[in-house]
């Protein structure tokens, strides 16, 4: 791939038949051998690769390698610039003078991110307008910390970039006028994400969907002190599929009721995420009128109870993902889980945080939700070994299991050695009754399963569930664990499946598998794994 400008080669001579000398007896002399070496060293083989193919190759390179490739020659620099569709810039004011040259080189950018640190001065309206004149085909724009951009700058930008499909802005100072300008000019806008927008003050004008009313599919609002101007936008977006509202002040029950009244069964909403909002069972009942919902998050909404969750489950039977954070308020429990099991047989992912579910609710889930693949149980004082034994026995499709801050012990973990045949990953954190050695034992039994046991948190004595279990001894031996398992299985002999585990554990008890305390399990290699 090297190039040398010092030697000129006739492409017509060498390109057409550069290896023909190898088959000709007249060219087998030493002179022809030296010529062949010179050709191999100085010929640029990449000249025959079309620019389109070279650009395609560049797409497989990382950022650093691609920058280095752009320095090889002028052609590679040009091809790299023309094939760069994504660009992220440090949007400090010092970059303004370099913007013309940057966008002369990268003239095909369709996805642009401008980020500025909190203590720095960001680019202003003039810079944003300059960018919009150079990137008229811009499809995605992300602004972070660009506090010098005003309503006027955003309005002029929207007039030049009418093909914009995605806008994400956070920690900026412009307000409702800027967003209305974008919505009125960008008729193809599909996604809008707004976080900590400082320019929307009390009494701000309403934000209307405008020309994007028929194209907007996703709205995400986060940490807005005054979110009332967005009510018209949320209600007026006719093809809205995803609605995410997190930590935004306002009466959201009324907004959800207005959404539920629209279009009835033809409502297009498929995802709703409500977190730390002023919303109650009235809002959840309104959500139940959106039958196409597949993904529902109800997180830290203390006014929501079993009644609202049951209402949603009875009507939203296509649900595939359900996340509930009950904030340990004891207002959501088994009644909701039984409704989920009864009406949502297609459920694939269930996350319960601060929900005091018991064996009754989890048994219903395990028995009816046969497609369940991902399950997370966190911060519950009522989820112990019997519940985990039930999961191991009945959740045959389960692939990922996370248990955090629950009063489970080695007994429940040991059941996973035979249960859940499709399991690929187990994560246990902050469960003080689980010994560090059981993770190593489980790895030996199920080598194909990734076992992530947070030994440091276990030994620290932290109990997210608030249970009164004491700290365990790190030197627990396996025969002692087996005896505990036998006792637990005997105590649940009324359950046929759980009783059948007794024979398996008794078989292991007769084997001297471990003669010394388990080694502390290291989870360093799994620390970067993606959470469930």
| pLDDT tens string 166-202 | 999 999 999 999 999 999 999 999 999 999 998 898 8
Would you say residue 242 has pLDDT above 70?
yes
Q: What is the 3-state secondary structure (H, E, C) of 303-326?
A: CCCHHHHHHHHHHCCCCCEEEEEC
User: Considering only CA atoms, which of 378, 385, 350, 381 is closest in space to residue 365?
Assistant: 350
**Span 400-421, pLDDT tens digits:** 999 999 999 999 999 999 999 9
Would you say residue 508 has pLDDT above 90?
no
Q: Which residues contact 306 (CB under 8 A, 6 or more apart)?
A: 331, 332, 333, 335, 336
Would you say residue 26 has pLDDT above 70?
no
CA distance 268 to 239: 6
| Residue position matching structure tokens 């059981």 | 438
- Predicted local distance difference test score (pLDDT) of residue 187: 96
Which region among 23-32, 64-73, 334-343 has the lowest average model confidence (pLDDT)?
A: 23-32
- Predicted local distance difference test score (pLDDT) of residue 324: 97
Tally of CA atoms within 13 A in the half-sphere of 81 that contains its CB: 14
Cα 473 to Cα 101, 299, 480, 481, distances in angstroms:
65, 35, 12, 12
Model confidence, pTM: 0.77
- Predicted local distance difference test score (pLDDT) of residue 480: 37
Q: Which tokens in the block code for residue 191?
A: 């996604």
Would you say residue 24 has pLDDT above 60?
no
Would you say residue 510 has pLDDT above 90?
no
Percent of the chain predicted with pLDDT > 70: 77
Average pLDDT over residues 313-332: 95
Would you say residue 257 has pLDDT above 50?
yes
| Residue position matching structure tokens 């692939």 | 399
SS3 441: helix
**Span 374-386, pLDDT tens digits:** 999 999 999 999 9
**Span 490-500, pLDDT tens digits:** 333 334 443 44
**Span 455-471, pLDDT tens digits:** 544 443 333 333 333 33
């Amino acid at each position: 791939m090297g190039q040398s400008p010092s030697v000129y080669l006739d492409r017509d001579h060498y390109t057409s038949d550069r290896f023909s000398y190898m088959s000709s007896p007249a060219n087998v002399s030493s002179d022809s051998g030296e010529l062949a070496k010179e050709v191999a060293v100085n010929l640029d083989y990449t000249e025959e690769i079309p620019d389109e193919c070279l650009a395609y190759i560049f797409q497989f390179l990382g950022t650093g390698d691609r920058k280095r490739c752009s320095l090889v020659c002028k052609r590679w620099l040009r091809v790299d610039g023309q094939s760069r569709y994504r660009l992220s810039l440090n949007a400090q004011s010092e970059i303004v003078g370099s913007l013309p040259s940057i966008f002369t080189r990268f003239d095909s950018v369709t996805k642009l991110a401008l980020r500025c640190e909190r203590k720095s001065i960001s680019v202003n309206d003039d810079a944003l307008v300059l960018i919009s004149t150079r990137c008229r085909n811009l499809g995605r724009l992300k602004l972070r910390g660009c506090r010098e951009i005003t309503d006027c700058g955003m309005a002029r930008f929207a007039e030049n970039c009418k093909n914009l499909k995605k806008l994400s802005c956070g920690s900026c100072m412009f307000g409702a006028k800027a967003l209305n300008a974008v919505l009125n000019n960008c008729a193809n806008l599909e996604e809008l994400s707004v976080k900590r927008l400082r320019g929307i003050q009390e009494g701000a004008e309403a934000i209307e969907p405008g020309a994007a009313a028929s194209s907007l599919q996703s709205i995400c609002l986060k940490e807005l002190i005054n979110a009332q101007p967005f009510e018209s936008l949320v209600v007026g977006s006719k093809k809205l599929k995803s609605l995410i509202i997190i930590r935004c002040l306002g009466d959201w029950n009324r907004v959800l009721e207005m959404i539920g009244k629209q279009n009835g069964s033809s409502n297009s909403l498929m995802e709703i995420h409500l977190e730390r909002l002023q919303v109650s069972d009235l809002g959840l009942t309104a959500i139940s009128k959106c039958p196409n919902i597949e993904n529902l998050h109800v997180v830290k909404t203390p006014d929501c109870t079993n009644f609202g969750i049951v209402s949603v489950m009875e009507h939203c039977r296509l649900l595939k993902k359900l996340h509930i954070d009950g904030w340990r308020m004891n207002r959501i429990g088994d009644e909701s889980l039984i409704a989920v099991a009864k009406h949502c047989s297609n459920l694939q992912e269930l996350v319960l945080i601060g929900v005091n579910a018991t064996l009754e609710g989890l048994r219903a889930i395990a028995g009816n939700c046969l497609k369940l693949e991902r399950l997370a149980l966190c911060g519950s004082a009522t989820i112990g070994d019997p519940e985990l034994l039930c999961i191991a026995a009945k959740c045959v499709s389960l692939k990922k299991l996370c248990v955090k801050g629950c009063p489970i012990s080695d007994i429940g973990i040991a059941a996973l050695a035979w249960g859940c045949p499709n399991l690929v990953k187990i994560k246990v954190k902050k469960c003080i009754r689980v010994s560090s050695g059981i993770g190593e034992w489980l790895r030996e039994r199920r080598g194909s399963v990734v076992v992530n046991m947070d030994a440091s948190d276990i030994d620290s004595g932290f109990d997210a569930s608030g249970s009164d279990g004491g700290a365990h001894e790190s030197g627990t031996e396996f025969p002692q664990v087996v005896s505990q398992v036998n006792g637990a299985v005997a105590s649940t002999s009324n359950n046929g499946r759980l009783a059948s585990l007794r024979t398996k554990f008794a078989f292991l008890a007769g084997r001297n598998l471990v003669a010394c305390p388990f080694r502390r399990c290291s989870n360093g290699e799994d620390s970067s794994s993606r959470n469930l």
